[in-house]
């Protein structure tokens, strides 16, 4: 921690004092070098030397850096007039250099203040967050930083956290072991429930989620769920006591004979709103919704299906207060007191059905939001791309240097990449909405793949082997199949290790109902636990490293999967870590198996 010393009425930390000495020393050296160079008429880069103290000062003190730039500009101009007058050309040149001091310093100060404000904003979020946050070293587990909320939660002061390790905060060795297992199984973990120990030695249930923010540093959020867990434990204990003092199962149980109710358990009494006496002897059909009575009459006569298993059907029931509730009914014939009866188990799925409807509505709103956000993001990119193309297309007119042009080209490439991502988001949103039709045509996959290879320059990036019959034809949507193959080929090239060897082959006999095109690489491979995730949006194998290394976000495979499923096909994956992967596209030879994307 910095110590502060008084300087007149200004309190300066030791760090600030050292910085001021460095700035002053650099400035004096620059002025001295300039005096010697001008006096001896030595052609040097003495003007550029002033940028060392200016940029150093502006980085730490943006506003004072501008004042220093003004002082250096005046000093440089005065020295130039002293030694160069009356050479008008050199005086004009030095004046331009002096003005350049101020302009460049002002630009640097502007961006430095923006960075400082952004850092202050994130620090404010960190400190005022309504959940605990701890940063720790992934190797030593040493705690690097905590916020105030975590201190309040566990009762430690920020100073007490210094020098502690995260495993020390766990309540028991078993909790530590589970933490190490989760930490070792995946880079990022969400909703890991465990117990931490407070300073007063009391356990505290928390929900941990962590993500690696650098090579060795992990950010972990801590949510206090102690009240909820205590409530859950109390509820479990109450439920156990309830089972011990009540009969039967928590699911609804009904026993009927000749459609008359002879027994109900407390769960069904709660479900229906009737008590046991009101239900005894009552015709069960009276509790069934009118639209479901005909179906209900057929099931009890055949309570088991063709496989001999208990039949299950969903029915709407009328409760005592007139409410309609949905339940899944399971029928089983039994013998009770020597007479044939029917056992009916009911599972209340009313809330589940309501949740499903809400989920469908949520997905529809989500697609709309994604589409709107992507469209709003794409709109401002168009003028940016236009201006960048204008500057790079005619650099001389706009005074763009070669170095600046390289930077602008990189910016244009980044903007174009952002545009492609937004287009993929829009395409995925439209796919989810089921609004993209299939336009079937007959085409040659060999020619299509060769065109993809030529357009993408993949032959120069990898050793490609194409093993597909030249006379082979597909009947499918050529545009969408081209998108799928291009995505697969791009992934194979990007994720392969030098020397990159890619093989594209056709593996299907005349009697097969599916075309099969395989794309094999010698890349990083995919673990078994990741195989089910790679086709999900924004999912990548080893996403913590791969997305940064190859500049990808994991949308192409999700789109490719939906396109193939729309044709009635699927994509299979075989992979061995560090040896390579083989993606196989299974495409129906006829369009009869094509499905709507909503049915996928």
**What's the CATH number where 160 sits?**
3.30.450.20
CATH number at residue 424: 1.10.287
pLDDT at 330 over 70: yes
C-beta separation of 318 from 288 below 8 A: yes
Whole-angstrom distance, CA of residue 486 vs CA of residue 477: 14
pLDDT of residue 586: 92
Task: Tell which wins on pLDDT, 102 or 249.
Answer: 102
Task: Tell which wins on pLDDT, 391 or 551.
Answer: 391
Inter-CA distances, 446 with 130, 437, 461, 478, Å? 58, 24, 20, 12
Q: Is there a domain that residue 236 lies in?
A: no
pLDDT of residue 421: 64
Q: DSSP alpha helices (H): ranges in 207-349?
A: 226-245, 266-272, 276-279, 293-298
Radius of gyration of the chain (CA): 36
340 and 468 in a common domain: no
pLDDT of residue 245: 45
pLDDT at 71 over 50: yes
Bridge partners (DSSP) listed for residue 329: 313, 346
pLDDT at 318 over 80: yes
Of 229, 260, 285, the residue that ends a domain is 229
Strands lying side by side in the sheet with 189-197: 143-146, 132-137, 217-224, 203-212, 189-197
Bridge partners (DSSP) listed for residue 443: 474
pLDDT per position as a tens digit, 425-461: 666 666 665 557 788 889 999 998 998 888 888 888 8
State the pLDDT confidence band at 518, using cuts at 50, 70 and 90. very high
Task: Tell which wins on pLDDT, 223 or 119.
Answer: 223
Angle between helices 88-128 and 51-60 (to 10 degrees): 20
512 and 444 in a common domain: yes
Whole-angstrom distance, CA of residue 420 vs CA of residue 549: 18
- Which residue's structure tokens are 């566990």? 154
- For 497, the 3-state DSSP assignment is coil
pLDDT of residue 244: 56
pLDDT at 260 over 60: yes
Whole-prediction pTM: 0.38
Highest average pLDDT, of 62-71, 166-175, 332-341, 365-374, comes from 166-175
pLDDT at 391 over 70: yes
State the pLDDT confidence band at 545, using cuts at 50, 70 and 90. very low
C-beta separation of 147 from 126 below 8 A: yes
178 and 82 in a common domain: no
Under 8 Å CB-to-CB from 272, ≥6 apart: which residues?
Answer: 264, 279, 287, 317, 319, 320
- The percent of residues above 70 in pLDDT, for the chain, comes to 77
Closest CA to 248 of 236, 238, 234, 263: 263
299 and 364 in a common domain: no
Respond yes or no on whether the N-terminal peptide bond of residue 86 is cis (omega within 30° of 0).
yes
173 and 89 in a common domain: no
Q: Is there a domain that residue 80 lies in?
A: yes
pLDDT of residue 335: 79
The token duo for 441 is: 């045509």
79 and 13 in a common domain: yes
Assign residue 283 a region: left if phi > 0, alpha if psi is -120 to 50, beta otherwise?
beta
Q: Is there a domain that residue 239 lies in?
A: no
State the pLDDT confidence band at 579, using cuts at 50, 70 and 90. confident
pLDDT per position as a tens digit, 524-533: 888 777 776 7
State the pLDDT confidence band at 595, using cuts at 50, 70 and 90. low
pLDDT at 500 over 50: yes
Q: Is there a domain that residue 464 lies in?
A: yes
pLDDT of residue 584: 92
Closest CA to 455 of 420, 483, 418: 483
111 and 8 in a common domain: yes
pLDDT of residue 246: 42
**Strands annotated E in 410-513:** 440-443, 463-467, 474-477, 501-506
pLDDT of residue 505: 92
195 and 51 in a common domain: no
Q: Is there a domain that residue 244 lies in?
A: no
575 and 594 in a common domain: yes
CB atoms within 10 A of CB 84: 16
The token duo for 525 is: 């491979």
Give the residue-averaged pLDDT of 26-55: 77
Q: How many residues does the chain have?
A: 600
Give the residue-averaged pLDDT of 358-371: 67
State the pLDDT confidence band at 598, using cuts at 50, 70 and 90. very low
Q: Determine phi and psi for 255, rounding to 5 degrees.
A: -120, 125
89 and 9 in a common domain: yes
Task: Tell which wins on pLDDT, 546 or 522.
Answer: 522
Q: Determine phi and psi for 173, rounding to 5 degrees.
A: -65, -35
pLDDT at 552 over 50: no
Q: Residue 204's domain spans which residues?
A: 129-229
C-beta separation of 102 from 70 below 8 A: yes
Whole-angstrom distance, CA of residue 536 vs CA of residue 54: 50
Task: Tell which wins on pLDDT, 347 or 431.
Answer: 347
Q: For all residues of the chain together, what is the average pLDDT? A: 77
- For 197, the 3-state DSSP assignment is strand
pLDDT of residue 553: 43
22 and 42 in a common domain: yes
Name the burial class of residue 46, with classes exposed (0-12), middle (13-18) and buried (19+) by CB atoms within 10 angstroms of its CB: buried
Structural domain tally of the chain?
5
Q: Is there a domain that residue 240 lies in?
A: no
Bridge partners (DSSP) listed for residue 543: none
423 and 390 in a common domain: yes
SS3 content of the chain, % helix, strand, coil (to 5): 50, 25, 25
Of 432, 463, 493, the residue that ends a domain is 432
pLDDT per position as a tens digit, 175-214: 888 888 877 766 677 888 889 989 888 999 998 888 877 7
Of 92, 127, 162, the residue that ends a domain is 127
246 secondary structure, DSSP code: S
How far apart, in Å, do the first and last CA atoms of the chain sit? 59
Whole-angstrom distance, CA of residue 56 vs CA of residue 26: 9
CB atoms within 10 A of CB 325: 19
């Amino acid at each position: 921690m910095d110590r502060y010393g008084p300087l007149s009425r200004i309190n300066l930390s030791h760090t600030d004092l050292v910085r001021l000495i460095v700035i002053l020393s650099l400035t004096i050296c620059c002025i001295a070098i300039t005096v010697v160079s001008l006096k001896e008429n030595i052609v040097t880069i003495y003007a550029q030397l002033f940028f060392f103290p200016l940029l150093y000062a502006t980085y730490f003190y943006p506003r004072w850096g501008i004042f220093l730039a003004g002082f250096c500009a005046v000093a440089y101009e005065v020295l130039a007039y002293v030694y160069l007058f009356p050479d008008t050309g050199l005086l004009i040149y030095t004046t331009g250099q002096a003005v350049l001091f101020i302009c460049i310093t002002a630009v640097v100060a502007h961006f430095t203040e923006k960075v400082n404000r952004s850092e202050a904003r994130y620090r404010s979020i960190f400190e005022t967050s309504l959940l605990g946050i701890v940063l720790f070293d992934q190797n030593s587990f040493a705690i690097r930083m905590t916020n105030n909320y975590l201190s309040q939660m566990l009762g430690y002061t920020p100073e007490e956290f210094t020098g502690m390790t995260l495993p020390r905060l766990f309540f028991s060795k078993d909790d530590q072991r589970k933490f190490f297992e989760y930490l070792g199984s995946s880079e990022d973990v969400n909703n890991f429930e465990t117990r931490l120990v407070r300073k007063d030695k009391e356990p505290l249930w928390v929900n941990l989620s962590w993500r690696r923010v650098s090579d060795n540093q992990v950010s972990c959020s801590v949510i206090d769920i102690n009240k909820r867990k205590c409530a859950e434990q109390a509820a479990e204990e109450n439920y156990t006591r309830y089972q011990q003092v009540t009969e039967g199962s928590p699911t609804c149980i009904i026993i009927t004979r000749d459609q008359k109710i002879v027994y109900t358990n407390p769960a069904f009494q709660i479900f229906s709103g009737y008590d046991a006496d009101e239900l005894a002897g009552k015709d069960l059909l009276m509790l069934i919704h009118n639209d479901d009575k005909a179906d209900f009459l057929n099931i009890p006569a055949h309570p088991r299906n063709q496989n001999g298993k208990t039949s299950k059907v969903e029915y709407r029931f009328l409760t005592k207060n007139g409410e309609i509730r949905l339940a899944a009914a399971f029928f089983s014939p039994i013998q009770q007191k020597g007479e044939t009866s029917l056992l009916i188990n009911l599972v209340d799925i009313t809330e589940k059905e309501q949740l499903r409807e809400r989920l469908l509505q949520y997905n529809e709103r989500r697609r709309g939001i994604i589409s709107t956000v992507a469209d709003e993001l794409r709109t401002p990119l168009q003028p940016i791309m236009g201006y960048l193309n204008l500057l790079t297309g005619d650099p001389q007119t706009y005074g763009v240097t070669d170095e600046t042009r390289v930077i602008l080209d990189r910016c244009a490439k980044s903007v174009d990449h952002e545009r492609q991502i937004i287009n993929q988001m829009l395409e995925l949103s439209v796919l989810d909405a089921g609004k993209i039709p299939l336009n079937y045509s007959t085409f040659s996959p060999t020619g299509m793949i060769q065109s993809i290879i030529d357009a993408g320059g993949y032959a120069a990036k990898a050793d490609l082997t194409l093993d597909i019959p030249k006379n082979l034809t597909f009947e499918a949507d050529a545009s969408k199949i081209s998108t799928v193959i291009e995505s697969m080929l791009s992934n194979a090239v990007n994720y392969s290790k030098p020397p990159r060897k890619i093989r594209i082959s056709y593996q299907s006999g005349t009697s097969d109902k599916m075309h099969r095109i395989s794309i094999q690489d010698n890349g990083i491979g995919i673990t078994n636990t990741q195989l089910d995730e790679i086709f999900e949006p924004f999912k990548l194998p080893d996403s913590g490293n791969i997305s940064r290394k190859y500049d990808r976000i994991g949308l192409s495979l999700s789109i490719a999967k939906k396109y193939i499923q729309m044709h009635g096909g699927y994509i299979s994956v075989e992979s061995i870590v560090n040896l390579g992967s083989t993606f196989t596209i299974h495409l129906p030879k006829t369009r009869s198996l094509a499905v709507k994307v909503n049915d996928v």
